[in-house]
């Protein structure tokens, strides 16, 4: 099993006659519009989480003191990713690493962005992806993460 197959349990390997992730979806193999790699997606997630954590620390005036304050970072992350993805097509972290999110056949609306982000917050859906690199959270709202 090579690195590209790790986590691709729902779609299995690329079907016969397809040579790269995103080919079945009509995307280019390289460059703008091609499927985003796992490394860039993970970097964007880390940047978004750290930015949300810094904002939460500033709002709380230090480390969390209650259980409710412990969830503030998650709430800020949810709002930031949902709103920026809806309005600009990329979260703060995705924009920094050169990615964008879009619907496969249409622009993602606010509800689609919110559902996608909620599934990311559950952690497991992004860890299970298909042969094209689309996680369960992307498949649920029919979205793609591509290089900008």
Q: Would you write out the chain's pLDDT as a tens digit for each of its 148 residues?
A: 344 444 445 556 666 777 888 888 889 999 999 999 999 999 999 999 999 999 999 999 988 888 888 899 999 999 999 999 999 999 999 999 999 999 888 889 999 999 999 999 999 999 998 888 899 999 999 999 999 9
What span, in angstroms and rounded, lies between the C-alpha atoms of 102 and 138? 10
pTM of the shown model: 0.85
Question: Which residue in the block uniquely carries the two structure tokens 């090579």?
Answer: 2
* Chain centroid offset of residue 130 CA: 14
Give the whole-angstrom CA distance, residue 70 versus residue 48: 17
- Are 24 and 15 in contact by the 8 Å Cβ rule? The answer is yes
Token readout for 133 is: 């690199």
């Amino acid at each position: 099993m090579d690195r590209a197959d790790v986590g691709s349990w729902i779609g299995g390997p690329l079907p016969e006659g397809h040579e790269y992730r995103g080919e079945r979806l009509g995307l280019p193999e390289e460059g703008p519009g091609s499927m985003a790699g796992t490394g860039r997606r993970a970097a964007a997630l880390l940047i978004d989480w750290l930015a949300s954590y810094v904002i939460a620390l500033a709002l709380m005036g230090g480390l969390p003191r209650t259980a409710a304050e412990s969830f503030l970072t998650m709430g800020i992350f949810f709002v930031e990713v949902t709103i920026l993805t809806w309005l600009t097509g990329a979260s703060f972290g995705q924009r920094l690493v050169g990615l964008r999110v879009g619907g496969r056949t249409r622009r993602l609306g606010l509800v689609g962005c919110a559902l996608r982000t909620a599934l990311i917050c559950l952690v497991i859906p992004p860890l299970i992806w298909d042969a094209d690199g689309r996680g369960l959270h992307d498949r649920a709202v029919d979205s793609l993460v591509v290089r900008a």
